[in-house]
Structure formats: structure tokens, C-alpha cells
Amino acid sequence: MAKILILFAHPALEKSRVHKRLIRPVKQLENVSLHDLYQVYPEMDIDIAYEQKLLLQHDIIIMQHPFYWYSAPAIIKQWQDLVLEHGWAYGSGGTALTDKKIMNAISCGGSKEVYNREGRNRYTITELLVPFEQTAHLCHLQYLPPFVVHGTHKLKDPDIELYAVQYEEMLIGLANDRITAAEWQQVSYMNDLNLIPKILQS
């Protein structure tokens, strides 16, 4: 089994509809650790040695966060800036993370339609996530497609439920090595994998 570390960042969890629901079952899942960065580091004073130890103990890292200004909440950047050290994660002798996997699990106010050349946001989510992808590449990690919840402002509770089931199935699939590289390399979003039985979707 693969060990999954969720680096969770939501600066206003009390107002959240999507992420509050997505993380609900996570604590019960075998081999999945939820690490709530804003809860652990309210002053953003990240413990680098502890974070590096956590990374070494896991195989798959998921940065789970709302999409804020086409990127992540600030603590994710702080985490990257401090934890991914030269000589440890990249650069000469920096091979600590080699062959681990990493991905983003995000929610966006915007619909999928507005994230393309003709849409209001002009770029696809895949394009906007390139800094994460390239950071992964430099640190010798495999970057998986993101899990994306679109159009959050218009989602009704049953829609969020469906995404939550999809997310849970993805976590179970990844932990059990049931999602192969051949499969995820063919999709833009992890959601596009056939994660839940059709019967649940109707």
C-alpha cells in the first residue's frame, strides 16, 4: 500500500462548504494522513525538520486547498519555500523525494468552461498549475493530474456529496495502488478516471 500525506490549507475553514466535506472521511482512511497546515502553524512558522520527516514517511503528497488567485493559499507557498530545501529536495545531492508522487486537489469558484482560451480566465487549470508541476519536476517527484471541484458557488449539497465520494474513491485507489500511471497519464483531471460506480452518479 502507498502512504498518502494530505497537506491541507484552508485559511477560513469555518466558511468552507467544499473542503469541509472533502476532508470529513479522511481521518478514517487507512494509510492517509491529514496534515492541516493552518491549524498546526497559525503563525506560518513551519517546522522544516518535521515537515521533511513527514514527507519521507509518505509516498504520495496531496496539496489540498481552495484555488486562490489562480494559485494556493499563502501557507502552501511558505511550505514550499521553506521545506523544499536545496541539497535536500533539489540541486546537488537533493534527491530525498525522488520518485514520490505529488498532486493538487483544488476547488475553484469558476466553472470548467471559463478556464480555457475563450473563457474569462483564459488559461486551463492545467496551465495555471504549471508552477506546481515544474516544482515537482525539479524535485524529482512525479506530478499527477489535479483533482478539481469546479463552480463551487453554484454547487448544491448533493453535487458536493458526489465530489466527496469521488475524492474518497480516488484516495482509496491511490493508497491501494489501483490507479496506474497508464491511467492517470491519459486524463487532465483525476476526476476523469472512472472513480465511482455509475450507479452512484445517477
**Which residues in this chain contact ligand FMN in the complex, by CB under 6 A?**
10, 16-19, 66-70, 107-110, 152
Q: Are 143 and 102 in contact (CB under 8 A)?
A: yes
* Non-local CB neighbours of 156 within 8 Å, separated by 6+ positions: none
Q: Are the C-beta atoms of 124 and 118 separated by less than 8 Å?
A: no
Q: What is the DSSP string of 125-170?
A: HHHHTHHHHHHHHHTTPEEPPPEEE--GGG--HHHHHHHHHHHHHH
- Residue 140 CB, shortest distance to ligand FMN, in Å, is 29
Q: Which is nearer to ligand FMN, 51 or 133 (CB)?
A: 133
- Rank residues 66 and 145 by Cβ distance to ligand FMN and give the closer one: 66
CB 21 to ligand FMN: min, Å:
8
Coil, helix or strand at residue 17: coil
Shortest distance, CB of residue 95 to ligand FMN, whole angstroms? 34
- Nearer of residues 3 and 112 to ligand FMN, judged by Cβ: 112
Closest to ligand FMN by CB, 94 or 119? 119
Nearer to ligand FMN, 67 or 167 (CB): 67
Is the Cα dihedral 115, 120, 122, 123 positive or negative?
Answer: negative
CB of 118 to ligand FMN, least distance (A): 16
Give the separation between CA 117 and CA 139, rounded to whole angstroms.
30
Q: How far is the CB of 111 from ligand FMN (least distance, A)?
A: 8
- What does the alpha-carbon distance between residue 184 and residue 5 come to, in Å, rounded to a whole number? 19
